Structure 1
Amino acid sequence: MVTLIMTRDPCLSKVVRIFGIAAVVWLLFTTFQLWQGRPAGQLTDLAKLSTKIVSTNDDKSVQEPPQSKIAKVCMLYYENVTESTIALESAIASHNAHNDRHHYRSYLLRKGILSGFYSKPAYMTTIILEELIKPPEERLEWLVWHDADLVLMNSEIPLEAFLPPPGFEHIHLIATNDLGGLNNGVFFIRINEWSVLLLTALTAYRTYHPGFSSVNEDQVVMDEIIQLDEWKGHVVHVPQRWFNSYHDFGKDADVPPEWHWYHHYFEPGYLLVHFPGAGEGRTDLINQYVKAKAAEPELYDVPFPKTNLTEEIAEYWAKDAKREEKIQKTFHMRQRILESVGSETDRARDKDLEEIRTRMAGESHEKIEEALSAKRKEYNSRKIENLREAEKDQRQAGTGRRYNAKARS
């Protein structure tokens, strides 16, 4: 019918052609606007996760692997370009090979939503809600948050390796502790209602605690929340070296070795290197590792089976994961001892070191450093003994309280 009208009326035919061209232009423009307006990686979410057929140069059809059920999330925004922001952009770009290798989508927030670091949980909440709207078979299953100040060093390690095995479906958050407690610079969180409630509780914390303030506010709040009874049964703290190893800022020679309080400093073959607390040196450190990876990729891209993680991960889920509550109770007890008894010993050490510097003023630099080193070594041993005694007292006091309570019952 349309063909007949166009044939009989050339003027109308011209109008229809113009209208058709305009419609195509509008469709292309709208598609471009949508693409421009979505954060990195989000456009991919519009596609189905099922396997797609693509055409190669030799006209043979091949199957493209499906997207992973894990996606990464990060945020980085700033007003002015500086050496620091350029380094952070390089750090984020270090994930590209890893994402391509394992088919990970990457969400990158480029504009603040809320003040401080609360944009972080708010942004993650929006992504999880978007996923929950989808049919179950099309959803992501996990998000991995990573701060901008870390460099992805081993593209061979799949994030799937760190997920809970069968029997741990109740675990919804996988995190790591460092010497000061939780470090949420990297963590895994499951796509489900539990995670929405946790993240919204974190986002709303200031509303119900208006006087609260901390340098690492969202991290301190998360650490507090996940220790509450309604949350802790769904959280595990895994060895730090798995996915949150630090640049080697110095070994902890003043902590009892039986505490196994390892920072898990970065070594070639680990997934990434993180720089919390690096201060002004962070930019140089990021650039140093980015260049090192580019210069010797074969040194850092260690095949997963050769990293010894396979056995360690299996052993963790078979043993330590089942003792999470007990392990964390011991961790936090020792953390409190370190903050009190350890800090007291540190203050005494620093006072003695200053007295040495004053007394030896005018002496050679080598002699002063020799005296300072001997005094530090002395205090390391003293601090270890003080910490051990404090832990012994804590355990005896705890046993005594349990015994007395039982005796009165």
Structure 2
Amino acid sequence: MTSHNFMKLAVLCNNHPGSMGWTYPGNYCEGDMNFEMYSTLAKTCEKGKLDVMFLADGVGVQTAGIREGHFGRGGTHVHFEPTTLLAALSQVTSQLGLVGTVSATYHHPYTIARQIASLDFLTKGRSGFNLVTSGSPEEAKNFGHTSELSSEVRYRRANEFIDAVMGLWDSFEDDAFLRDKASGQYFDPRKMHKLNYQGEFFRIEGPLNIPRPPQGYPLISQAGMSDAGHDLAARTADIMYAKYGTLEGGRAFKTKMHEAMKKHGRAGGELAILPGFFPVIGATEEDAQRKFRERQTYLDDGGGLAMIKGLWKVDLTGYDLDGPIPDLPELQKLAHGQQIDFNRAGRRMTIREAFHWLASAYAHLSVIGTPEQVADAMQLWYQQGGADGFNLYLHAMPNSLDDFVDHVVPILQQRGLMKTEYCGGTLRENLGLLRPTWQLPTR
């Protein structure tokens, strides 16, 4: 069976912001800056034949919770810079894809093109980056702005950014470097090309001072939730991390993205859509529910309200926490825009249930049950057209990752939904994606 027939699996290896996950007994704390922690996670991912170890990132400390009086409680205020960490992890893995987040808002395309190309060589073709637009005031002020840039400006810049990065990766043709000792010719100058990029935000002559990467273009992923983000993914991305909580929503989203891709001359199979998936796995359903309840005790009410304010931009202080989520216009807009369903078992979630849900599943599909129940849900979504795979959100690192690899992966493999061995040498090969052919840089 080829990689085209298998679901694609990524693992988000950060603690969720403000989730208090670091306080859970046995949990890793990424703020410890402990390389051995990430090394262990990467080796477990590779043991389970997962496709991608994914690291989220931001370029500033999110201070909203601190200002609200919950100083220092969140688990992801400080962490490694992703490309540096992934370069180190490239030396303790041999087949796992390594993908980190990069801000198109505050980084320069030349620097990022060089960093990710270098990582692709270090990994022998297993690298990629997740392109984001940074939208917090803290990040803006770290880069000389008095306030965050508008979404429109950030996405105009992001489109230029990715065009420039891909153009720089094509600075040299694949066979430009002869390294012929007999003739003394190191490379063929005719196969070196300047980019000469001129846009609204960037002026880049080129060429990039690194050969064309092993994958041609290292993997590009995107997770934007706006129409502009969807269009950017449809035009440029290989993987899209998505957020929806129903199978019907997943089907509709995939249809929307495939239609958007056609407008850019791309086929649907060129983009894998991976919704977030939050499993809590127990020997029995009761055991899994117990684990989830234990997890909830590590988030206090004040921290939960701060999380809702930070993520949903609405202050619910003063409302009954055990009453239903209020029917506010800003929450109606949020539910429509991010495909969030506030109802559970025929009733509206309470505020307390909402922030516990945010701290765990973060508005993604969640399954709390046995390995078979988790595998059943994944199989249903995959085979019924709701997903090309999943981006795993795990509630207790490393234990939840161990549970998934040891108990769910074997079931998926037995059902023919997951590979038992990696299918190729590069990340693109393992994902069934073609290596982009060299193109003459044109701008």
The reply to whether TM is greater than 0.5 is no
TM band (smaller chain): under 0.3
User: Looking at CA atoms only, which structure, 1 or 2, has the larger radius of gyration?
Assistant: 1
Q: Which has the higher contact order (CA 8 A, sep 6+)?
A: 2
Scaled by the length of structure 1, the TM-score of the pair is 0.25
Scaled by the length of structure 2, the TM-score of the pair is 0.23
> Which protein is richer in helix relative to its size?
1
